[in-house]
């Protein structure tokens, strides 16, 4: 996938769900993975010509693993080349999760602490919105996780207002396939910071990711139908698509 297609799919989500308004200051959560680095490139590219001017700031929450500062230097350089300010938030989250709490389900606590640190930093930096790098596959997997383990049809919303933090969460890559993210990352040699977490790859989400892969192989188009079910599922909290944008797209 090239930058043009990435920006096109990203703008589709932004326009249809009214994710960006004039003078927004958006914090991008940069974990160092392929998804967040791709989102960084997409929004930095869109910023040049999007009709509603906005600012970007990239934020990484350092979980406290050794050699993080050295590993994050290429990301700092990428942000510099894109003219996006970059901030690293130090933390001891890894130690809290694995050494102190010794969580049997470490991902849940880690995600909660990481998001809390990121959102707090975003507010301190003067941002009014935060951008998460969830892609199409993430939405499908989240829906299936809810069905299998929570007995409900649910998926996180493209736009969510966090009243306690006075922040709006946006997910501009919701129409981008994970395979396209991988292609973009490889084509542009983005400096991926490989996850040192000992629980990486041994989670319920990893199981569901493999399940979606198998279901789609046995039933071609299954993942796309899952995604359509999410978009058309009247999930509580989901905003309506912008009717004007939908009408304009039909007449392009």
According to DSSP, the β-strands at 129-131 and 167-170 are parallel
Report the alpha-carbon angle 122-105-67, nearest 5.
55
pLDDT value of position 251: 38
Please tell me the distance from the alpha carbon of residue 57 to that of residue 77, in angstroms, as a whole number.
Answer: 14
DSSP letter for 52, please: S
pLDDT value of position 194: 72
Q: What is the pTM of this model?
A: 0.90
- pLDDT tens, position by position, 14-73: 999 999 999 999 999 998 899 999 999 999 999 999 999 999 999 998 877 776 667 889
How many Å is the Cα radius of gyration of the chain? 18
Domain ranges of the chain: 3-250
Average pLDDT over residues 192-213: 79
pLDDT value of position 31: 87
CATH ID of 3-250, from 1.10.150.120, 3.30.930.10, 3.40.50.620, 3.30.365.10: 3.40.50.620
- pLDDT tens, position by position, 105-161: 667 777 788 888 899 999 999 999 999 999 999 999 999 999 999 999 999 999 999
Strands, sheet with 129-131, edge to edge from the N-terminal-most edge strand = 86-90, 54-62, 24-29, 129-131, 167-170, 159-162
Please tell me the distance from the alpha carbon of residue 64 to that of residue 93, in angstroms, as a whole number.
Answer: 6
Please tell me the distance from the alpha carbon of residue 239 to that of residue 171, in angstroms, as a whole number.
Answer: 13
């Amino acid at each position: 996938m090239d930058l043009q297609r990435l920006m096109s799919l990203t703008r589709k989500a932004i326009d249809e769900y009214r994710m960006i308004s004039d003078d927004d200051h958006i914090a991008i959560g940069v974990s160092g993975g392929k998804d967040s680095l791709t989102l960084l490139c997409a929004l930095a590219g869109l910023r040049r010509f999007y009709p509603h001017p906005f600012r970007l700031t990239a934020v990484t929450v350092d979980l406290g693993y050794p050699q993080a500062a050295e590993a994050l230097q290429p990301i700092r350089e990428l942000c510099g080349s894109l003219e996006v300010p970059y901030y690293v938030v130090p933390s001891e989250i890894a130690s809290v999760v694995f050494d102190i709490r010794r969580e049997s389900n470490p991902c849940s606590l880690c995600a909660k602490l990481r998001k809390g640190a990121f959102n707090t930093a975003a507010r301190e930096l003067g941002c009014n919105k935060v951008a998460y790098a969830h892609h199409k596959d993430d939405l499908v997997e989240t829906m299936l996780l809810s069905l299998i383990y929570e007995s409900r049809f649910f998926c996180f919303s493209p736009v969510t207002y966090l009243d306690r933090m006075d922040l709006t969460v946006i997910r501009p890559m919701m129409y981008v396939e994970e395979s396209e993210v991988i292609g973009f990352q490889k084509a542009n040699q983005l400096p991926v910071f490989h996850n040192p977490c000992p629980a990486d790859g041994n989670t319920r989400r990893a199981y569901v990711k493999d399940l979606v892969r198998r279901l789609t192989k046995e039933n071609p188009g299954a993942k796309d139908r899952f995604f359509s079910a999410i978009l058309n599922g009247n999930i509580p909290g989901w905003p309506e698509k912008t009717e004007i944008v939908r009408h304009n797209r039909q007449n392009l």
